Structure 1
């Protein structure tokens, strides 16, 4: 049937599902034990949101369900591909996934933990293992100095401390 014979009210727009944090296609989806717990909590929250959806407008309900189901699909894909790495099993003397790192960059003290892409949150001092700075310091040891290229600028990074608590 031609779209010309359909009422405008019947034309539903496909809802936009927000994408998850970027993970390069060939990269393994590493997560910490805490990260997998966060994903499970997110799944429970989506299930709860779906079951408690209260709307009388059927069209709005379909849109809301489509968004929840879309988010759930992306989440389940991410959970299925997750490979849990326990930071406490990492080599203690070098920077690997899960490490809490203290460093000096251009004389400024910084600290953060290297985590999975879904767990990364700069406000909580957690950066993704695929972030350029994380990739630059992975494999380094206390006392090592790294030249970190940031556009045309090169910054010196000195590794001060590594721990896996």
Structure 2
């Protein structure tokens, strides 16, 4: 049926679902075991939310359900492509995916800790950086005592590796 024959009030809003964290085409979707648990918990929470939708009208309920279904679809795609990296199989003396790295940044005496994780797990406020981030890329493969330099627009920032744990 042509959209011209549909009453305006019968037309439903198409839910706009924000995309998940960017994972470039062709890049393997690595994830830590903890990250996979978080994705599965997120999926269960969305399923629970969808089953308990309360809305004033049937249309509002359908819109809310479609929104959650769209979010679930994106999440299920991410879970299906996830490749869990077992951290106990990583080399202990070298920075690899899943490593928690203690760094001395520049001339600061304060030490910073960051874990290199999957794109869906990354959260700088929790000290988790994506393996595709510029910082992670320059750190991967390094060992304690080595340094990495990140070239920024106005300066170069030096990262000295103090410790590596998994």
**TM-score scaled by structure 1?**
0.94
1:62 aligns with 2:79: no
Off by >6 Å, runs of 4+ in structure 1:
none
C-alpha separation between the residues in 1 aligned to 2:46 and 2:26? Answer: 28
**Which aligned pairs between 1:38-49 and structure 2 lie closer than 5 A?**
38-49=38-49
Residue 85 of structure 1 is matched in structure 2 by 85
Query: Per-residue deviation at 1:129?
Result: 0.7
Instruction: Indicate the residue corresponding to 2:101 in structure 1.
Output: 101
1:2 offset after TM fit, Å? 5.0
Q: 2:126 aligns with which of 124, 142, 146?
A: 124
Residue of structure 2 equivalent to 1:153? 155
Unaligned runs of 5+ in 2: none
Task: Report the alpha carbon displacement of residue 11 of structure 1 after superposing the two structures with TM.
Answer: 2.0
Q: Aligned-pair distance for 1:5?
A: 4.1
Q: Distance in 2 between matches of 1:5 and 1:143?
A: 71
Using the TM superposition, give the Cα deviation of residue 12 of structure 1 relative to its aligned residue in structure 2, in angstroms.
1.8
Tell me the number of residue pairs that the alignment of Structure 1 and Structure 2 aligns.
Answer: 164
Which deviations, in whole Å up to 9, do the C-alpha atoms of 1:83-113 show, x marking residues without a partner? 0001121001110011010111112322111
Gaps of 5+ in 1: none
In the superposition, the TM-score normalised over structure 2's length comes to: 0.93
Distance 2:5 2:31 in 1: 51
1:137 aligns with 2:117: no
2-side partners of 1:43 and 1:24: how far apart? 22
Q: Is it true that 1:32 corresponds to 2:32 in the alignment?
A: yes
The RMSD of aligned alpha carbons is 1.3
